[in-house]
Structure 1
Amino acid sequence: MPHKPTAPHRPKPSNIRATYAVALALGIPLQGCTLHGAPSREIFGAYFPLWLLAGIIGLVGALLAHRLSVAMRWSQILPLQLSVCLSIGVTVAGLVWLVGTGQLL
């Protein structure tokens, strides 16, 4: 006797609506931006997003930390130099973000 293939299980329409309702109810509090928009700063007459400014300043901080460690010859004795410079850059970027949004000072 040949095997008869079965159709895939499809949920009932009421279950689908309930799933969408739960997803919508859980997703509403997770909205990202407020009504006044993302924080930005005016630089040379144009608005520049603060997250991008913080990232660029953090990158410069990491590069300066690397150059300082090479100039002071700490790079020869400093283990995991990439991790150290990266953490310094992330710390600088975080501080710029906190100061820029007014949450630190």
Structure 2
Amino acid sequence: MLGGCDARLAPSVPLFGAYFPFWLVCTAAGVIGAVVLRGLFIRIGLDDVLPWRLAVYASLAAAIGFLLALTVYGR
């Protein structure tokens, strides 16, 4: 009845002595990746011509998080 709580169905990552769900790690990696890409975009001058910066960077963060979840965890 509590199959959703099984360790095989809910992958966790041990960080700093605690277990974090994989989606939280993917979200953090997506945000960090978007910040790094923003720095790169500013450096090459692409940031100035982006029409909706918030939507672009939020989409980049989501894309990085989703790609990490698909490639590392297969979900």
TM range (shorter): 0.7 to 0.9
TM-fit CA distance, 1:45: 5.1
CA distance in 1, matches of 2:55, 2:62: 10
2:33 to 48, 57, 61: 61
Partner deviation per Cα, 1:31-50 (whole Å, 9 max, x = no partner) = 99253352112335543220
The count of corresponding residues between Structure 1 and Structure 2 is 73
**1:14-93 mapped onto 2 (5 Å cutoff):** 33=4, 35-36=6-7, 37-43=9-15, 46-93=18-65
RMSD across aligned positions (CA): 2.4
Q: TM-score, normalised by structure 1?
A: 0.57
User: Which of the pair has the greater relative contact order for Cα pairs under 8 Å at 6+ separation?
Assistant: 2
User: Larger C-alpha radius of gyration, 1 or 2?
Assistant: 1
Q: Which runs of 5+ in 1 are unaligned?
A: 1-30
More helix by share: 2
Q: 1:32 to 1:41 in 2, by over 3 A?
A: same
**2:71 corresponds to 1:96:** no
